[in-house]
């Protein structure tokens, strides 16, 4: 029996190692530590040089047409170049053409740099994807076949040292598996049949024991294949909000195109002439090129930030939905609480001393290798000075294992029988032996339950008969900082709901301590589904986490369903995100990343539209001041000449794109606040900044141009 307990303990320890060693990510608000790394990486010359060929390849009109704003700039670049060839000596035309081409390349470079990190991650994943030989079971005999020939439903055998040939579920056995190729974590994890930790991924390696796996995916559709496609961008679809913004930008472009098209006849009537180069420069400066250039990079960077945190989003739609979530469903165990209940105190019944209760509790827990059992032994040792006795010292003892039927465990030694377990079971055991149950036993147990703890009764039978000694208070400890995190979510207008199988009294106590808004006790899969549908019927977006097959319906119903990588294949297929670290708390961070994506897109859109206003003051007076002297009053920047004004605006228009790429990739710093306050903040920083920056930038460029001889 000791060997079995030790084996169980090792398995539990191995499973516990699935808690990510990248925990700092889960505790750092989005946009802090990783921001510096991403932003710094952008200006790495190697990264820029590597991305430049991709940026030039994206000049293909078939690619550019997907971004209407930048497609117009590309067409304008071609036109100005053609007209410059008709007048080779016109330095102004050539200069405008060069900067327009740079504008397009800078826009493509932003997207190429964002995609470059994804390609690097995909290369790493490809190293994990190896062509393996599978040991397929056919009529109880093994045959070796290439992994590419496996089909859904095939059974394969894997032993220590074997690479798992495809995605599937363990249907027989238990083994330690190295998933570092997928998760980046070196600690092995346990995969076993018949539970929520049965899913295995192709490309991972079995370290010990023997398992039989049922293949659940076709070749080319494995988890690694999907990850490669996603991080490379092959499966990236534009989100609804992104499509809507593209339509808005295209509409503004058409409006300004029509407005510019009406200027030549007006200029001819006024006695001046506008060249095609000037008209194209005017159009490019008026349309929202800044956000048009950065829109794709913002979306790619949002998914990339999730990948950096070991979360795989199946689509950009899921990331965006996370930013709009208004209800968050969180499992209690392992998410809000540490998951392992710990002994907090010993409460003796009347007539029994704490020391006697502690001695009996420790004795009954010596063979209990669960975290709860270990905590009882430690509490008795530290608080009451009882030394930790070992099973070797009790060679004649008969250990009573816990079973689901008896709901008790204990020991028979030296003529005494000590039992520890659920209140009802221990009380029944005492009464069966003719003992009396102290009146305060139920009172103490109920008081612990109402406080959110779990009561374990301790009883003894000796020469004085059978009797209850007292109650052990097991407490499910709420993780540090959870109340503050929930308060941040509340400030963002997000409702938090704790999901637990505990009774309502225990659930309410934990919910009050953690600071969640609501809870669902004694939750069944049907209860979870009903809650999600009820919230969605009220127009709310719902996010939740899960890892078991029983969570699959709710994960599929939720707008953002985050499946744990340690969970079943059904759960991973049902969710639209997979957390490779299997850290349920990360759902809170996913919501923050989604909100950061939306905030970044909104902030840069505000900046882009605002800085177009300043360009009007630079170009319009320059074009018509000679004909309409009154327009000189609008030349508040006092630009040196019409040509210099137009050229300065075009140069600024190109440079501001490359200047904003780090912000687009890193994201606007996220701070928990309500929508009204966030809008005021963005208008103050990016709206006002978008107005002021062009006035300063265009004036500085104009001064530099005026210093060039002959211009």
For the ranges 4-13, 451-460, 686-695, the lowest mean pLDDT is seen at: 4-13
pLDDT score recorded for residue 458: 92
**pLDDT at residue 34, as a whole number:** 38
Q: Which of 217-231, 485-499, 535-549 has the lowest mean pLDDT?
A: 217-231
Asked if residue 536 has pLDDT above 70, the reply is: yes
Mean pLDDT in residue range 65-91 = 89
The verdict on pTM exceeding 0.75 is: no
Q: Residue 416: pLDDT above 70?
A: yes
Residue 363: both structure tokens together: 């004795």
At residue 122, what are phi and psi to the nearest 5 degrees?
A: -65, -40
- Binding-site residue numbers for ATP are 368, 372, 402-409, 420
Residue 60 annotated in active site: no
pLDDT, tens only, 344-383: 889 999 888 888 898 888 888 887 777 788 888 888 888 8
Q: From the CB of residue 271, how many other CB atoms can be counted at a distance below 10 Å?
A: 8
Q: Say what the pLDDT of residue 80 is.
A: 92
Q: pLDDT tier at 422 (50, 70, 90 boundaries)?
A: confident
CB 155 within 8 A of CB 214: yes
DSSP character string of 543-570: EEEE-SGGGHHHHHHSSEEEEETTS-HH
CB 682 within 8 A of CB 670: no
Span 683-699, mean pLDDT? 87
Is the pLDDT at 81 greater than 90, yes or no? yes
Stretch 582-608: mean pLDDT: 85
* pLDDT class of 532 with cuts at 50, 70, 90: very high
What pLDDT does 212 receive? 92
**Backbone phi and psi for residue 541, each to the nearest 5 degrees, phi listed first:** -95, 135
pLDDT at residue 7 greater than cutoff 60: no
Nearest by Cα to 665 from 47, 25, 28, 21:
47
DSSP 163: B
Output 570 or 227, whichever has higher pLDDT: 570
**In the prediction, which pLDDT does 29 show?**
33
Q: Tell me the average pLDDT across 653-677.
A: 83
User: Cα separations (Å) of 478 from 27, 344, 408?
Assistant: 15, 13, 26
Q: 436: which 2 tokens?
A: 């009396």
Q: Which of 34, 225, 331, 702 is catalytic?
A: 331
For residue 479, the SS3 value is coil
CA atoms within 13 A on the CB side of 578: 23
pLDDT in the model for residue 655: 92
The answer to whether 419 and 426 have CB atoms below 8 angstroms apart is yes
Q: How many CB atoms lie within 10 A of CB 573?
A: 16
Question: Measured between alpha carbons, how far is 63 from 67 in angstroms, rounded to an integer?
Answer: 8
Contact 74, 22 (CB under 8 A): no
| Per-residue pLDDT tens digits for 165-184 | 888 889 988 888 888 766 65
pLDDT number for residue 120: 62
Which pLDDT band, with edges at 50, 70 and 90, does 95 fall under? very high
Mean pLDDT (the chain) is 79
- Report pLDDT for 19: 32
How many other CB atoms sit within 10 Å of the CB of residue 10?
Answer: 13
CA 61 to chain centre: 34
- Across residues 387-391, what is the average pLDDT? 59
Query: Which residues does 547 contact at the CB level (< 8 Å), separation at least 6?
Result: 196, 197, 563, 564, 566, 567, 568, 571, 582
Among 183-197, 258-272, 550-564, where is mean pLDDT lowest?
A: 183-197
Cβ neighbours of residue 86 closer than 8 Å, sequence gap 6 or more: none
**pLDDT grade, residue 271 (50/70/90)?**
confident
Determine the Cα–Cα distance for residues 453 and 446; give it in Å rounded to an integer: 10
Binding residue ranges for Mg(2+): 547, 551
> How far, in whole angstroms, is CA 708 from its chain's centroid?
51
At residue 393, the pLDDT reads 58
Q: How confident is the model at residue 10 (pLDDT cuts 50, 70, 90)?
A: very low
Q: Which residue has the higher pLDDT, 529 or 233?
A: 529
Strand partners, 199: 169
Q: What are the CA-CA distances from residue 39 to residues 36, 387, 665, 667, 668 (Å)?
A: 5, 55, 7, 10, 12
Separation CA 335–CA 371 (nearest Å): 17
Site of tokens 């004909």: 627
Structure confidence at residue 30 as a pLDDT band (50, 70, 90): very low
Question: Contacts for 636-642 with beta carbons within 8 Å, 24 or more apart?
Answer: 636/695, 637/695, 637/698, 637/699, 637/702, 638/699, 639/698, 639/699, 639/702, 640/702, 640/703, 640/705, 640/706, 641/706
Counting runs of H as helices and runs of E as strands, what totals does the chain give? 27, 21
Q: What confidence score (pLDDT) does residue 28 get?
A: 31
Do the Cβ atoms of 466 and 410 come closer than 8 Å? Answer: no
Q: What is the reported pLDDT for 22? A: 34
Dist. CA 667–CA 256, nearest whole Å = 29
pLDDT band at residue 33, thresholds of 50, 70 and 90?
very low
DSSP class of residue 462 equals E
The sign one gets for the Cα dihedral 599, 603, 606, 612 is negative
Q: Which residues contact 32 (CB under 8 A, 6 or more apart)?
A: 669
- CA 203 to CA 64: how far, in whole Å? 37
Give residue-wise pLDDT tens across range 433-442.
Answer: 888 888 788 8
How far does the chain reach from its first CA to its final CA, in angstroms?
Answer: 93
Q: Report pLDDT for 237.
A: 58
Confidence of residue 274 (pLDDT cuts 50, 70, 90): confident
Lowest-confidence region among 1-15, 349-363, 457-471: 1-15
Cβ–Cβ < 8 Å for 585, 26: yes
Which residues have CB under 8 Å from 56's CB, separation 6+? 105, 108
Q: Is pLDDT at 50 greater than 80 in this prediction?
A: no
Could you tell me which residues are annotated as the binding site?
368, 372, 402-409, 420, 547, 551
Least confident of 454-468, 542-556, 620-634, 635-649: 620-634
Q: What is the pLDDT of residues 486-528, one digit of tens each?
A: 888 888 788 999 988 777 877 888 888 888 999 998 888 888 8
**Three-state secondary structure call for residue 155:** strand
pLDDT given at position 77: 93
CB 557 within 8 A of CB 534: no
CB within 8 A of 697, min separation 6: which ones? 652, 655, 656
Give yes or no for a contact between 636 and 306, defined as CB atoms under 8 angstroms apart: no
For the chain, what percent of residues have pLDDT higher than 70? 83
């Amino acid at each position: 029996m000791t060997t079995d307990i030790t084996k169980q303990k090792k398995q539990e320890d191995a499973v516990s190692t699935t808690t990510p060693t990248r925990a700092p990510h889960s505790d750092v608000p989005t946009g802090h530590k990783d921001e510096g790394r991403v932003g710094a990486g952008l200006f790495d010359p190697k990264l820029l040089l590597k991305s430049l060929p991709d940026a030039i390849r994206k000049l293909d009109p078939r690619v550019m047409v997907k971004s209407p704003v930048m497609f117009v700039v590309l067409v304008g670049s071609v036109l100005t170049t053609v007209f410059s060839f008709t007048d080779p000596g016109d330095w102004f035309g050539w200069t405008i053409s060069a900067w327009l081409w740079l504008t397009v390349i800078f826009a493509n470079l932003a997207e190429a740099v964002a995609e470059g990190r994804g390609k690097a991650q995909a290369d790493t994943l490809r190293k994990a994807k190896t062509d393996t030989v599978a040991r397929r079971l056919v009529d109880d005999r093994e045959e070796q076949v290439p992994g590419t020939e496996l089909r859904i439903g095939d059974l394969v055998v894997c032993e220590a040292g074997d690479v798992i040939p495809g995605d599937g579920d363990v249907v027989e056995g238990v083994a330690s598996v190295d998933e570092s190729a997928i998760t980046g974590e070196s600690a092995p994890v346990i995969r076993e049949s018949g539970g929520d930790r049965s899913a295995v991924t192709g490309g991972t390696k079995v370290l010990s024991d023997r398992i039989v796996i049922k293949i659940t995916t076709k070749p080319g559709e494995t988890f690694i294949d999907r990850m490669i496609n996603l991080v490379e961008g092959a499966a990236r679809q534009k989100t609804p909000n992104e499509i809507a913004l593209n339509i808005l930008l295209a509409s503004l472009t058409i409006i300004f195109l029509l407005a510019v098209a009406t200027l030549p006849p007006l200029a001819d009537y006024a006695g001046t002439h506008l060249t095609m180069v000037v008209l194209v420069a005017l159009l490019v400066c008026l349309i929202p090129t800044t956000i048009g250039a950065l829109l794709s990079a913002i979306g790619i960077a949002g998914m990339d930030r999730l990948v950096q945190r070991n979360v795989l989003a199946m689509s950009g739609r899921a990331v965006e939905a996370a930013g709009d979530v208004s209800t968050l469903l969180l499992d209690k165990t392992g998410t809000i609480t540490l998951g392992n209940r710990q002994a907090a105190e010993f409460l003796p019944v009347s007539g029994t001393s704490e020391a006697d209760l502690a001695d009996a509790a420790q004795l009954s827990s010596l063979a209990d290798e669960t975290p709860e059992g270990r905590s009882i032994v430690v509490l008795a040792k530290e608080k009451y000075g009882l030394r930790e006795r070992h099973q070797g010292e009790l060679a004649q003892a008969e250990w009573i294992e816990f079973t689901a039927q008896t709901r008790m465990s204990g020991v028979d030694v030296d003529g005494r029988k000590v039992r520890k377990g659920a209140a009802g079971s221990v009380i029944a055991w005492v009464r069966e032996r003719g003992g009396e149950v102290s009146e305060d036993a139920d009172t103490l147990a109920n008081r612990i339950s109402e406080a959110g703890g779990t009561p374990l009764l301790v009883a003894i039978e000796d020469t004085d008969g059978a009797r209850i000694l007292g109650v052990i208070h097991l407490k499910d400890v709420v993780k540090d900082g959870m109340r503050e995190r929930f308060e941040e979510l509340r400030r963002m207008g997000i409702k938090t709901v704790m999901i637990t199988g505990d009774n309502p009294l225990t659930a309410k106590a934990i919910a009050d301590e953690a600071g969640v808004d609501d809870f669902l006790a004694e939750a069944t899969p049907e209860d979870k589904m009903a809650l999600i549908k009820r919230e969605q019927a009220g127009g709310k977006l719902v996010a939740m986490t899960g890892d078991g097959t029983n969570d699959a319906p709710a994960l599929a119903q939720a707008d953002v369903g985050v499946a744990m990588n340690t969970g079943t294949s059904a759960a991973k297929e049902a969710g639209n995100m997979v957390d490779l670290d299997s850290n349920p708390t990360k759902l809170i961070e996913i919501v923050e990343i989604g909100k950061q994506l939306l905030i970044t897109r909104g902030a840069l859109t505000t900046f882009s539209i605002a800085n177009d206003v300043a360009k009007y003051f630079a170009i319009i007076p320059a074009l018509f001041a000679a004909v309409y002297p009154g327009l000189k009053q609008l030349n508040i920047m006092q630009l040196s000449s019409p040509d210099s004004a137009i050229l300065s605006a075009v140069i600024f228009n190109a440079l501001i794109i490359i200047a904003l790429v780090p912000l687009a990739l890193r994201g606007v710093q996220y701070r928990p606040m309500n929508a009204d306050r966030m809008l005021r903040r963005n208008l103050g920083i990016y709206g006002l900044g978008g107005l002021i920056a062009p006035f300063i930038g265009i004036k500085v460029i104009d001064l530099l141009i005026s210093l060039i001889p002959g211009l």
